Structure 1
Amino acid sequence: MTAYIKFTALSGAHNEDPLCYLLEVDEAKILLDCGWTDKFDPEDLKQLKRIAKQVDAVLLSHADIEHIGAYPYALGHLGLNCAAYATFPIHDMGQICMYDAYQSRADVEDFSTFTLDHVDAAFDKMVTLRYSQPFSLSGKCKGITITAYAAGHTVGGTIWKVKKDTDEVVYAVDYNHKKDRHLNGTVLMTTEALGRPSVLITDAYNAKNEQPLRKTRDAALVETIMAALNAEANVLIPVDSSTRVLELAYLLEQHWAFQRLQFPLVFLAHQSYRTMSLAKTMLEWMGDGVAQAFTQRREAPFDFKFLRTLYRIKDLEKIKGPKIVLASLSSLDTGWSHHMFREWAAVEKNIVILPERGIPGSMTRTLYSAWNSRADPQAVDGIRPAVNVELDIELNAKQKIPLEGEELSEFLAREQQRREQEAEALAKQRALMEDEESDLDEDEVEVAEVANILASVYDIYVKDQMRTGGFFKQSQSYRMFPVHESRKRVDDYGEQIDPSVYMKGEYQFAMQQAAEEAEEPQAMDVDKIRPEEDLIPSKYITNDIELKIRCKVIYIDFEGRSDGRSIKNILPQVAPRKLILVRGSEEATQELAEYCLSTESMTSEVYTPHIGECINVSAATNIWQVKLTDSLVSSLNMAEMADYELAYVSGIIRFPNGEDDTTATPMDVHEDMESSTAPIPSQPAAQVPILDIVPIQLQKQHRPILVGDVKLSEFRRLLQNEGFSTEFVSGVLVVNAAAGSDSGSVVVRRAAAGKLSLEGKMGDVYYRVRKLLYGQHAIL
């Protein structure tokens, strides 16, 4: 069956805003990402609010605010009530990301847009998957299978394939085909499962950018940092709290360890310790370089010896001298990065290194635009130098300060008064209940006691078998002590065990004493992921200030996305039947769309929807659904092809409900499992009739049909594995070409309409190659 597919961009289309899209497959509504900015303005979610209650599933592709930021808010306030699907790292790192974002805002204002309870509830509803693990959805999404594939860019980053019947929709945004130090590249071009999809949804964010080599970028970053530190300057790198920061931290730790540098290297974020602790448990999701370091050199990746993880600004103030700080959040609008930028921006020798361009409207994008307009366009190896930026920006500075003096006394008095009023109200309620009980007769008293027990905090109601009442009275109950079982904590390796439970008293005392004698209790409790609430009486103040920016700024691309040239090479290899371009500036979107339309090997159906625009990307024709009898199915000779089983059957199709079948004509049917396919005029899938098929002897035999598409490069690898020597000559695959002779040579070429032709002298080589070539197809 061909599905009825519609697509609507809710955010991130013809602009560089966060990503959020609605994919409709027949009756199912699937939300692709649920991004927001760290300003957390509910006005940005108007489109999401309109459809949130109708969503049946959410697919999350990366663990940063631009992909998951609105998910807790939508679950708590917009009526989103469905499961979300993500990989294990996206679940764990995404929760840390949202904790850090909440704490960053709560540190400077009375933030109530969403709470930590909303974050916990949202991630508790998340279903975690592994790469290449097909997962069948239920409910309105019944019949739809989703599969996650590696996207690169971030640990656990995902390309989603949504499949129903013969339709496949691939959602691939923010992917990276190049290897990072801690990640492998995407599998978008290397796996057949993602090739030739019905619809490909991808972004044009980097369509106009060219990325220097990784070696060049790494060297430029290190040289810029060392030049600043040697000049007694401070270096600030605004980073996210859980994703791309791992690449920068891993790179700088390796350089510090190799050079034995003494300059302070700091990662400052509210969840910094937990980020690095969780990174140690995700080695299987990382690249070959990390795995090789762990298995061959016995190194423990992300067990840093030079990088300090801090979560309080007062700990950073204790470190004297020039230092490099990786601070969250990456927008420079809030969090510790904003705090440090306000302190260091006025000093000319200090430098801010931007690893990404930032979203429009952010402080990071403002600095990037200023650097881009002033930097020398003559780049050295693709890296443009740092420049001194001179800007005066009006800021609304927010700050949280503890209460003192009279304000603190008034606050404590109000709290005391509130507690007394609550205690007085509770006492009056108890007295009223006792008065009501005294007015009841004996039977009513007994019933009231039972009701009181059931309504209290006691665990269970049990009859007292040792005590009997009157002739018509029930046995009275006795109360049970309440039992509270603490929630078991489970990680990827099973239930977490507290060793102190099994230690004797003297060992417990020794451990407690050692903990108290620790000089700096900096390490957080990683098992307790949720941060503690700040109970110190405080108030929030706001001041309008003028921020004078005089420091140096440089942009070095560590976004971890494929650049424009790579994207233009990748899309023809994927070869989608229909292409939807989303997130990207107006110019980038238009340029990539024009390139795809002008490329012969690309589809001519390229869509660039605007915000709120719904487009129909269903197939031009649907197919009949045919019922076959058990006897017919058992007689078919099935041939396997990818995820399908195919067979050939001849018959006459007729309508089953007594409808006129005088127009029924013999036709060939290609059988796909228990349904056969034949084109009909375009119509919604819900209106496709279900037909019966009656087998007849139209013809004793038919011309064999080869189903499948084989790439010459893949067929060459197969031949080499079978012991053949091969080479490409002018686009033609030559097999077993002997020097100075054509004896035993076979030529495989791609003919018109994408068909493969086999040429050569009859012999052992020819027949073996032909057998292998036929084996790559389903012969019906």
Structure 2
Amino acid sequence: MFNFTPLLGAQSTSPASQSLLEFDGGIKILVDVGWDESFDVEKLKELERQVPTLSVILLTHATTAHLAAFAHCCKHFPLFTRIPIYATLPVISLGRTLIQDLYASTPLASSIIPKAPLSESAYSFPSLRGGSNPNILLQPPTPDEIAGYFSLIHPLKYSQPHQPLPSPFSPPLSGLTVTAYSAGHTLGGTIWHIQHGLESIVYAVDWNQAREHVLSGAAWLGGAGTGGSEVIEQLRRPTAMICSSRGSGPVTLAGGRKKRDDTLLSMIRDTVAKGGTVLIPSDSSARVLELSYLLEETWQAEVEQGDGSSPLKNARLYLASRTSGATMRYVRSMLEWMEEGIVREFETASGAQETQAHKRNRSQQGGFAGGAKQDDPKFARAPFDFKYLKLLERKTQVNRLLAAEGPRVILASDTSLEWGFSKEALRSIAGDNRNLVILTERVGQSASDKKGLGRYLWELWDERRDDAAEIDAENSATAIVDASGNEVVLQHVQLAPLSGGEIPLYQQYLARQRQLQNTMQGDTSTALETSADVVDDRSSSTSTTSEDSDVEHQGKALNTAATLSHARHKLGLSDAELGINILIRRKNVYDYEVRGKKGREKMFPYVAKRRRADDFGDLIRPEEYLRAEERDEVDGEDMRDGGTKRENAVGQKRKWDDVGVRNAAGARRLSNGLNKRRKAAAMAADDRDADMELGGKADPRRRAAEPESDSEDGESDEEAAEAKVEGPSKVVFSLETLRLECRISFVDFSGLHDKRSIQMLVPLIKPRKLILVAGEEAETNELAADCRKLLNSGAEEATEGGIDVFTPCIGGTIDASVDTNAWTVKLSQSLIRRLHWQKVKGLGVVAITGRLEAASLHDKAGPEAAKKKMRTVKAEGQDSQGKDEAESEVDATPVLDVVPANMAAATRSVAQPLHVGDLRLADLRKIMQASGMTAEFRGEGTLVINGTVAVRKSGTGKIEVDGGAYSMGDPRNTEGGTFFKVKRKIYEGLAVVAGG
């Protein structure tokens, strides 16, 4: 059984992708936790509902569409971090820098608390009576927490079959195997192959078959000996294939990668020659690698060749992203995941650097200067060791850049132009007709009633491109349109502290959420820490004492009104709703009836104490290591954790080290020095992680990648301190009308498959069922119609033996189970002892002959019945109820037993030995060569052995062996001739399943 449900990203303009795969036995796999630039928590409601049922989580790409909600789920969904998560190493490392860039760039990433949960807690507060949402933000994860979340992900390598561990609340996975294959598109991007029983699922969303400068193509045609014309065996003939339709709609640029690169560089040269600025919005961790590598190589080639006619000599090149330095450090340590040309370039550069260093040392010893230094144009540089591309990580650096004059090219995050430095850059250059905005991919639309800035520009270009097509149809795909006369509304987002009745409203919301979480999982949640909402109280988060589970301290950081309200109303939770948690949530309750209960309701609730630690032990609290002169003390009392400690109000619960919730406007802010030290510690942690991935050696080129001098650190720290709002906060929106005078163009650097790639590969993959997701409605339906005609011999609907093509909508479930006549039976112990299993492609196969018996009408829990006799006698009413339940639990599964002796003779001749498997000619060629025979391919699909025997495959499982009289050999020879040797080797390559 296999069911597929797209939670996000099916026939939708939003690029976010979330998919739920369900197998036999209640096994559920979540693939991707994507989000869009709206950061609307309502879009995660269905995912939150499914979290307690998930077994495994798989991640495919380090992009916002596949990963943006990961930190939010870890922070605010209590059970999410207990689910095993798997991804490749580049997705883990680059995903971490992406999420850190996201939360550092926009307050909206923290997510606005929806109006409905606030309304449930607002019965005593008039804040919502006007019907407006106060836009209160959830508590955002810190950089340390984000790093901790990504450390939970288990790294996998390509082509490495792995049997994942199930989550604590998941049923057994029963041999489920996942394997990652290269998807192209992004560094470490993954095509997942999932094998469970008879189900073979290929999940391929956002892949690229073509090779690029940095990324190799998808692994569809990567089999050895196939010559690139045959899909690898592991991905062939799956029972279901989930494929993305995104990218099949737009018209692709003829000429491939070279034409694409030349078009982009031609636009850049023309613009900078006029003194204009080129803005290229991109992501901060995935496709930006391809763009930055191309531009750096172009600058090196044209600037260093000595030709003064190149317009790029006077143009500057920038990459603006808050985590660009950490991203490039990670990338330099993951060259083995890139295209083979990058690896050769790195090896060449490393050898050249060693030779140049050796010459320089010899020259210095000889008393004269020589050899190439790092500033010398002849100095060999490794990939992503930029010389011309300058990294900008601070807003002050970007503002200084935008205030200057001169030609320049700016790569800035993000593609949507809704967050990141690209929005500020567009705001600065929009008023000059010399400037050019080059869109590199089609921007999605997060809501049907609201268009983002990136979507507006793309639709404007697409609309005016049609007008240009009437003049020059050949170049319409790369037309440059003039946006003069258009106005667009920009939405600015600013942080502000809570005020008035918003503070108690927020406190009541936190109290209710904590109570619900404690009820769900026995108070093991640490997602809601209200002390961290107000000030950075690290002592409460690292406490490991028994007070964490004490009933008296479950309502920490509640003010008097919230506490009394909680005592009066109990948040609507009765004893029945509390369930077995009543043993730890109610005083003087020591007994709980578990007879007739199932699952966790039969077990005493356990409160797990979570210690926060990393690979080196317990986390260090920097405030404990401050020098005396660094402390802010008043009358000998340490004040660095935020103001004078007030006496607790009556009825207010506190831990010894908790800091109370007070007026956010009047609370004492953390000192700037402590903020600087924490920021420096976070940057140092990034450096240490990068060094660890480099094998423990520091990168000598790290300083070369730093864009600014240390003199700018103070300015950036002051900016961060001013922008930071301590305590609970909200967002304030303001609108600005921006008049566009610049030009717009589009060059497809999305790195996605086109319709031609799908139409070429899907018939080779031969899936039994094809599911199309991750695309807009029009392109998905158009691609589905083409695939039905292509795969079903021109018929619109699937014929007998044809392929079903599904196009689900968000929330719709598709039953894509394998079409086999299979039944569930129980094997008797005597029959199991006689079975001899054969392994075929990871599955156990055996032929059996048995007698099918009717299901037993006895209670299936035989041992349980004996144990029940030893238990305490039930009450009369409950006793009868329990008996009724026991009688209803009857196992209806039929039993397959050994054939009786008097029937064995009649059935023995029916079952014949079977040869199971599909031997590939490339494998047979290797086997014959290893046996000392000559084997070579001649013609199409014909393997000739010793020049006398020809082997052909006429279909899956059908092998034809053709040999003349010379291949038979001497009949007196016991080994036989070539013909019989070939047949013997073919049989040895198959699994023999004997009958009987």
Q: 2:710 aligns with which of 521, 531, 553?
A: 521
How far does residue 172 in structure 1 lie from its aligned partner after superposition? 0.9
User: What does residue 304 of structure 1 align with?
Assistant: 386
User: What does residue 25 of structure 1 align with?
Assistant: 23
Call closer, same or farther: CA 1:266–1:495 in 2, change over 3 Å.
closer
Map of 1:385-534 to 2, 5 A cutoff? 385-390=479-484, 392-398=486-492, 425-426=645-646, 428=647, 493=692, 520-521=709-710, 534=720
> Which whole-Å CA distance do the structure 1 matches of 2:421 and 2:980 have between them?
69
User: What does residue 272 of structure 1 align with?
Assistant: 324
> Which whole-Å CA distance do the structure 1 matches of 2:769 and 2:2 have between them?
12
> Which whole-Å CA distance do the structure 2 matches of 1:421 and 1:589 have between them?
55
User: What does residue 728 of structure 1 align with?
Assistant: 939
User: What does residue 610 of structure 1 align with?
Assistant: 809
| 1:98 maps to amino acid | I
The yes-or-no answer on 1:577 pairing with 2:776 is no
How far does residue 734 in structure 1 lie from its aligned partner after superposition? 6.2
How far does residue 625 in structure 1 lie from its aligned partner after superposition? 4.9
Query: Aligned pair count?
Result: 660
User: What does residue 136 of structure 1 align with?
Assistant: 164
> Which whole-Å CA distance do the structure 2 matches of 1:492 and 1:568 have between them?
44
How far does residue 234 in structure 1 lie from its aligned partner after superposition? 0.4
| 2:69 maps to amino acid | A
How far does residue 688 in structure 1 lie from its aligned partner after superposition? 5.3
Q: Deviations over 1:675-723 (max 9, x none)?
A: xxxxxxxxxxx97556444584533685442322355677678778964
How far does residue 327 in structure 1 lie from its aligned partner after superposition? 0.2
User: What does residue 535 of structure 1 align with?
Assistant: 721
| 2:454 maps to amino acid | T
> Which whole-Å CA distance do the structure 2 matches of 1:723 and 1:382 have between them?
56
Q: 2:952 aligns with which of 724, 739, 748?
A: 748
User: What does residue 741 of structure 1 align with?
Assistant: none
User: What does residue 374 of structure 1 align with?
Assistant: 464
The yes-or-no answer on 1:202 pairing with 2:232 is no
> Which whole-Å CA distance do the structure 2 matches of 1:243 and 1:32 have between them?
18
User: What does residue 842 of structure 2 align with?
Assistant: 643
| Cα contact 1:392–1:546 (8 A) shared by 2 | no
The yes-or-no answer on 1:757 pairing with 2:960 is yes
The yes-or-no answer on 1:553 pairing with 2:744 is yes
| Cα contact 1:716–1:733 (8 A) shared by 2 | no
User: What does residue 505 of structure 1 align with?
Assistant: none
| Cα contact 1:189–1:195 (8 A) shared by 2 | no
User: What does residue 177 of structure 1 align with?
Assistant: 209
> Which whole-Å CA distance do the structure 1 matches of 2:442 and 2:723 have between them?
38
Call closer, same or farther: CA 1:589–1:693 in 2, change over 3 Å.
farther
Q: 2:275 aligns with which of 221, 225, 232?
A: 232
> Which whole-Å CA distance do the structure 1 matches of 2:694 and 2:336 have between them?
20
Report the secondary structure of 2:478's partner residue.
coil
> Which whole-Å CA distance do the structure 2 matches of 1:62 and 1:155 have between them?
8
| Cα contact 1:40–1:113 (8 A) shared by 2 | no
The yes-or-no answer on 1:162 pairing with 2:194 is yes
How far does residue 100 in structure 1 lie from its aligned partner after superposition? 0.9
> Which whole-Å CA distance do the structure 1 matches of 2:349 and 2:934 have between them?
35
The yes-or-no answer on 1:326 pairing with 2:375 is no
| Cα contact 1:355–1:556 (8 A) shared by 2 | yes
Call closer, same or farther: CA 1:237–1:491 in 2, change over 3 Å.
closer
- TM-score by length of structure 1 reads 0.75
| Cα contact 2:769–2:804 (8 A) shared by 1 | yes
Map of 1:682-761 to 2, 5 A cutoff? 689=894, 691-694=896-899, 696-697=904-905, 698-699=907-908, 703-710=912-919, 723-729=934-940, 733=942, 735=944, 744=948, 746=950, 748-750=952-954, 755-761=958-964
Which ranges in structure 2 are unaligned for 5 or more consecutive residues?
Answer: 111-134, 223-231, 304-312, 351-380, 446-450, 498-533, 536-631, 659-683, 726-730, 793-800, 859-890, 968-976
Report the secondary structure of 2:710's partner residue.
coil
More helix by share: 2
| 1:255 maps to amino acid | T
| Cα contact 1:6–1:615 (8 A) shared by 2 | yes
Map of 1:94-173 to 2, 5 A cutoff? 94-106=95-107, 112-113=137-138, 115-117=140-142, 119-120=146-147, 122-133=149-160, 134-138=162-166, 139-143=170-174, 144-173=176-205
| Cα contact 1:33–1:58 (8 A) shared by 2 | yes
> Which whole-Å CA distance do the structure 2 matches of 1:202 and 1:496 have between them?
37
Report the secondary structure of 2:171's partner residue.
helix
User: What does residue 683 of structure 1 align with?
Assistant: none
Identity of aligned residues (%): 29
How far does residue 341 in structure 1 lie from its aligned partner after superposition? 0.5
How far does residue 36 in structure 1 lie from its aligned partner after superposition? 0.7
How far does residue 562 in structure 1 lie from its aligned partner after superposition? 1.2
How far does residue 549 in structure 1 lie from its aligned partner after superposition? 1.5
Report the secondary structure of 2:106's partner residue.
helix
> Which whole-Å CA distance do the structure 2 matches of 1:102 and 1:771 have between them?
64
> Which whole-Å CA distance do the structure 1 matches of 2:67 and 2:337 have between them?
20
| 1:707 maps to amino acid | V
| Cα contact 2:39–2:109 (8 A) shared by 1 | no
User: What does residue 586 of structure 1 align with?
Assistant: 777
Report the secondary structure of 1:622's partner residue.
coil
| Cα contact 1:16–1:359 (8 A) shared by 2 | yes
How far does residue 256 in structure 1 lie from its aligned partner after superposition? 0.9
User: What does residue 86 of structure 2 align with?
Assistant: 85
| Cα contact 2:317–2:389 (8 A) shared by 1 | yes
The yes-or-no answer on 1:778 pairing with 2:991 is yes
| 2:916 maps to amino acid | V
Q: 1:597 aligns with which of 788, 799, 822?
A: 788
Report the secondary structure of 1:395's partner residue.
strand
Call closer, same or farther: CA 1:708–1:535 in 2, change over 3 Å.
same
Greater Cα offset, 237-246 or 161-170 = 161-170
> Which whole-Å CA distance do the structure 1 matches of 2:482 and 2:923 have between them?
52
How far does residue 565 in structure 1 lie from its aligned partner after superposition? 0.4
Call closer, same or farther: CA 1:747–1:28 in 2, change over 3 Å.
closer
Call closer, same or farther: CA 1:421–1:706 in 2, change over 3 Å.
closer
Call closer, same or farther: CA 1:765–1:345 in 2, change over 3 Å.
farther
How far does residue 128 in structure 1 lie from its aligned partner after superposition? 2.3
User: What does residue 227 of structure 2 align with?
Assistant: none
> Which whole-Å CA distance do the structure 2 matches of 1:776 and 1:717 have between them?
12
Call closer, same or farther: CA 1:630–1:557 in 2, change over 3 Å.
farther
Call closer, same or farther: CA 1:384–1:773 in 2, change over 3 Å.
farther
Q: 1:345 aligns with which of 430, 433, 446?
A: 430
User: What does residue 822 of structure 2 align with?
Assistant: 622
> Which whole-Å CA distance do the structure 1 matches of 2:140 and 2:84 have between them?
19
Greater Cα offset, 601-610 or 336-345 = 601-610
User: What does residue 528 of structure 1 align with?
Assistant: none
| 1:264 maps to amino acid | R
User: What does residue 755 of structure 2 align with?
Assistant: 564
| Cα contact 1:347–1:550 (8 A) shared by 2 | yes
Call closer, same or farther: CA 1:368–1:303 in 2, change over 3 Å.
same
| 1:755 maps to amino acid | K
More strand by share: 1
How far does residue 614 in structure 1 lie from its aligned partner after superposition? 1.7
